[in-house]
Amino acid sequence: MQSSQKKHKTVNPLSILLLIFQGALVGVGAVLPGISGGVLSVIFGIYKPLMEFLSNPGKTFRIHFPRLFPFFCGYILGFLGIANVLSFFLEKYPDPSVCVFVGLITGMLPSLFREAGEQGRSKGSYVSMILCMCAIFALLMGLHITSIEVAPNFFWYLFCGFCLALSLIAPGMSFSTLLMPLGLYTPFVDGIGHFNLNILIPGAIGAVVTVICLAKAVNALFRKYYSIAFHGIIGIVLAATIMILPLQSFSAPRTALINVCCLLAGILAALALDRFNSGVKAREYPSIQHPVNI
């Protein structure tokens, strides 16, 4: 009992700062197109305790929350800080901004594919990737052909919150991949950046409900069918990325050159981030069975 109390009193300031920094990077990754907050949390070794906490907060609160609290603080800072910057560029320079995002997604694909194959690949993995890619293509092309316009409202912002939460609990999923083709990404990010409660409240409700309903299921899915689930996400990312590319802006030589430069800048930035992440040694955080101190 005494040794247990001593353990709880041990606080490492450097570990807390590291968790805040990692949380900020995951928060930035949650908003920035092409960078998955879920993948970053896997790389930093946060994903396992995070999913244990989200899927069963009552049982794991005392074990994980004290260690995840600095991470959550950093996440909020990174998330809100980058949203305001993105809303400005999306409003002033829409096509070049989207090209940077497509470049970021393209540059992260090798990392995603590497993560997806960590536990091996099977025929089912590739079938999952192709089926998910075809399903998203069919959905988005159907919306485009039928000229269905999504008018942002309370219920669509609930959907935005769902996608946002999914990007954290499903590694590899960037919430922008579904929101951009529907025209919801810019108003949602702009609302977050300007603290618009009409957008923040439904977005928060959608995110919380998603975590409550899906965290346990997604945790079990990735635990049992990791490769199949991850390759399915890659299929979704590929289809959505192709659909958001602003091909019409490549018609004029000047705008085409600017867009190609933006694409290359995004690819190089993503590859540099991937290289940085590869150099970060993933830390082992406590599990429910073997709690340890940071």
Parse the chain into domains and list their residue ranges: 2-279
Q: How far is CA 245 from CA 2, 105, 125, 146, 237, in A?
A: 60, 11, 26, 19, 13
| Per-residue confidence (pLDDT) for residue 290, from 0 to 100 | 42
Q: Which of these ranges, 41-45, 229-233, 253-257, 260-264, has the smallest mean pLDDT?
A: 41-45
| Per-residue confidence (pLDDT) for residue 202, from 0 to 100 | 93
State phi, psi for 12 to the nearest 5 degrees: -105, 105
| Cβ atoms within 10 Å of 98's Cβ, excluding its own | 25
Q: Which of these ranges, 43-52, 103-112, 204-213, has the smallest mean pLDDT?
A: 43-52
Q: What is the mean pLDDT of residues 26-53?
A: 72
Question: What's the pTM?
Answer: 0.62
165-218: per-residue pLDDT in tens?
887 777 666 677 678 777 888 888 888 878 889 998 999 999 888 888 888 887
| Per-residue confidence (pLDDT) for residue 143, from 0 to 100 | 66
pLDDT band at 285 (very low <50, low <70, confident <90, very high): very low
SS (H, E, C) the chain: CHHHHHHHHCCCHHHHHHHHHHHHHHHHHHHCCCCCHHHHHHHCCCHHHHHHHHHCHHHHHHHHHHHHHHHHHHHHHHHHHHHHHHHHHHHHCHHHHHHHHHHHHHHHHHHHHHHHCCCCCCHHHHHHHHHHHHHHHHHHHHHHHCCCCCCCCHHHHHHHHHHHHHHHHCCCCCCHHHHHHHCCHHHHHHHHHCCCHHHHHHHHHHHHHHHHHHHHHHHHHHHHCHHHHHHHHHHHHHHHHHHHCCHHHHCCHHHHHHHHHHHHHHHHHHHHHHHHHHHCCCCCCCCCCCCCCC
pLDDT band at 52 (very low <50, low <70, confident <90, very high): confident
Closest CA to 87 of 193, 10, 3: 193
| Per-residue confidence (pLDDT) for residue 205, from 0 to 100 | 94
Kindly tell me if the per-residue pLDDT of 294 is higher than 50.
no
Higher pLDDT, 21 or 134: 134
Query: Per the structure block, which two tokens stand in for 202?
Result: 């439904």
Distance in angstroms (rounded) separating the CA atoms of residues 48 and 68: 11
Higher pLDDT, 56 or 278: 56
Kindly tell me if the per-residue pLDDT of 1 is higher than 60.
no
Higher pLDDT, 23 or 35: 23
Query: Per the structure block, which two tokens stand in for 154?
Result: 């309370």
Q: What is the mean pLDDT of residues 97-103?
A: 82
